[in-house]
Chains A and B, each alone.
Chain A
């Protein structure tokens, strides 16, 4: 088959791009988790934070991705480094599902369990770490899973600003009207998304409280 032949011939380059792609998605997801989970916890604790935080994350989500990459170009320190810029944009997109699921995950913990914990004399911190977060973990993880799947797709667009990744093939293929080239980017990207979805889904199932 023509396509298989093409893929195997360019396997080095595809692997390299896949690596770049994973780097963009991995770092941005990590950042989104590190920023998003505390924001989710804060907005659950203090009702005043809820609207601005979730609202803000929502607004970011509505910005078309190509436009967001463009908006960020003139930002100093970032503008010069396309990969940093792409990571920032991907992080911003990944925030909403992480924040929202942290919020709803903690909200969803059985109130009787929380009341019992409080009544037993757990401090708010102990309640959070020992009870609320462990019980919300699978919901939080499902948010991370959504974030990863979105990021894998969005990261292809990062190639438009020269950040590399599997999008390189797609953009080149589009420019050259070469379907094989497009598929050489699209197939590994789709495979990555499916793989991440499946793997995180399995983990989530194992963490589901009974």
Chain B
């Protein structure tokens, strides 16, 4: 992919439709822009189409109509392997390779990309530090880690080849409340430090308010609104208002984010 500095948007959905194999139209006419360096949270219930939309970005799924662009170039015209290696991808079930040590899990894409061993080793050390993990964990296998450690490894594995874009699908959903809270905060700080563009899928308003620079609310394949967390809390959109009511007092969360 050529970096197209002219485009302000890192990712664009242009009139995108997705039809399920059984013929049901999950969504159509989806238009959405993800700005460079922002953390866009796609909030919605299961079945709202948020995960599907996410997978259209790295072509794990193909749209039935319309176009998804990354850095101004249609993903359909980009080599799918190159595209995926330039975009990090983190899922709730992590999907660490159980037969690889932490070091080999993190180093897999750099290794395939032909980095020399010294550089891979350096990158792994750097990433483990970034994730707040002990370097000794490098030689452990995934089953020897706690859930929180595994998810941290999952996140930094996605960062290994230095992607400018990160896609995350409920990455902290399977964690206990304490670990989740800690990882969310650390991740927010990391994202701001690295200036990455992140698309973050969740059904949790708390998470959306805490992490999102903007929140895209989806319901039954329709994009209800795309607003900042502050605007979300005051939104006149009936669905957004319903979320806020169900959630209680959300203003606290934003206050907790601290100065940015």
The smallest beta-carbon distance between A162 and chain B, in angstroms, is 46
Are B141 and A120 within 8 A (Cβ)?
no
Pick from A113, A114, A119, A121: contact of B96, CB below 8 A: A113
Pick from A110, A116, A121: contact of B81, CB below 8 A: A121
Q: Is A135 an interface residue (CB 8 A)?
A: yes
CA distance A210 to B89 in the complex (A): 24
Are B98 and A119 within 8 A (Cβ)?
no
23 chain-A/chain-B pairs, Cβ below 8 angstroms:
A110-B93, A112-B94, A112-B95, A113-B96, A113-B97, A115-B60, A117-B95, A118-B84, A120-B84, A120-B89, A120-B108, A120-B109, A121-B82, A121-B83, A121-B84, A121-B109, A122-B108, A126-B112, A135-B97, A209-B98, A209-B99, A210-B98, A210-B143
Residues of A165-205 at the interface with B, using a CB-CB cut-off of 8 Å, are none
Are A110 and B143 within 8 A (Cβ)?
no
Question: Chain A residues near B143 (CB, 8 Å)?
Answer: 210
The smallest beta-carbon distance between A187 and chain B, in angstroms, is 40
The smallest beta-carbon distance between A209 and chain B, in angstroms, is 5
CA distance A121 to B157 in the complex (A): 12
The smallest beta-carbon distance between A118 and chain B, in angstroms, is 6
Q: Is B58 an interface residue (CB 8 A)?
A: yes
Are A135 and B91 within 8 A (Cβ)?
no
Give the number of residue pairs across the A-B interface with Cβ within 8 Å: 63
Which single residue of chain B is at the shortest CB-CB distance from A113?
B95
Q: Give 6 new A-B contacts, CB below 8 A, not counting A116-B91, A122-B81, A135-B97.
A: A110-B95, A121-B82, A122-B108, A122-B112, A131-B97, A209-B99
CA distance A81 to B81 in the complex (A): 51
Please judge, given known A-B contacts A113-B98, A209-B99, whether A119 and B91 are in contact too, CB under 8 Å.
yes
Are A135 and B112 within 8 A (Cβ)?
no
Which single residue of chain A is at the shortest CB-CB distance from B108?
A120
CA distance A115 to B84 in the complex (A): 12
The smallest beta-carbon distance between A110 and chain B, in angstroms, is 7
Q: Which 6 A-B pairs have the closest CB atoms?
A: A116-B95, A112-B93, A121-B84, A119-B89, A121-B85, A112-B95
Q: Is B68 an interface residue (CB 8 A)?
A: no
Question: Chain A residues near B99 (CB, 8 Å)?
Answer: 134-135, 209
Pick from A119, A131, A210: contact of B84, CB below 8 A: A119
Q: Is A123 an interface residue (CB 8 A)?
A: yes
CA distance A110 to B85 in the complex (A): 21
Q: Is B158 an interface residue (CB 8 A)?
A: yes
CA distance A202 to B85 in the complex (A): 39
Interface 1/0 per residue, A109-152 and B, CB below 8 Å: 01011111111111100100011001100000000000000000
Are B141 and A210 within 8 A (Cβ)?
yes
Question: Chain B residues near A135 (CB, 8 Å)?
Answer: 97-99
Are B97 and A123 within 8 A (Cβ)?
no
The smallest beta-carbon distance between A45 and chain B, in angstroms, is 17
Question: Chain B residues near A134 (CB, 8 Å)?
Answer: 99
Please judge, given known A-B contacts A113-B96, A126-B112, A209-B98, whether A120 and B85 are in contact too, CB under 8 Å.
yes
Which single residue of chain A is at the shortest CB-CB distance from B112?
A126
Question: Chain A residues near B86 (CB, 8 Å)?
Answer: 121
CA distance A130 to B167 in the complex (A): 23
Question: Chain B residues near A116 (CB, 8 Å)?
Answer: 89, 91, 94-97, 154
Are B112 and A115 within 8 A (Cβ)?
no
Are B91 and A112 within 8 A (Cβ)?
yes
CA distance A119 to B56 in the complex (A): 11
CA distance A119 to B84 in the complex (A): 6
Are A117 and B98 within 8 A (Cβ)?
no
Are A123 and B81 within 8 A (Cβ)?
yes
Question: Chain B residues near A122 (CB, 8 Å)?
Answer: 81, 108, 112
Question: Chain B residues near A130 (CB, 8 Å)?
Answer: 97, 108
The smallest beta-carbon distance between B132 and chain A, in angstroms, is 21
Question: Chain B residues near A113 (CB, 8 Å)?
Answer: 95-98
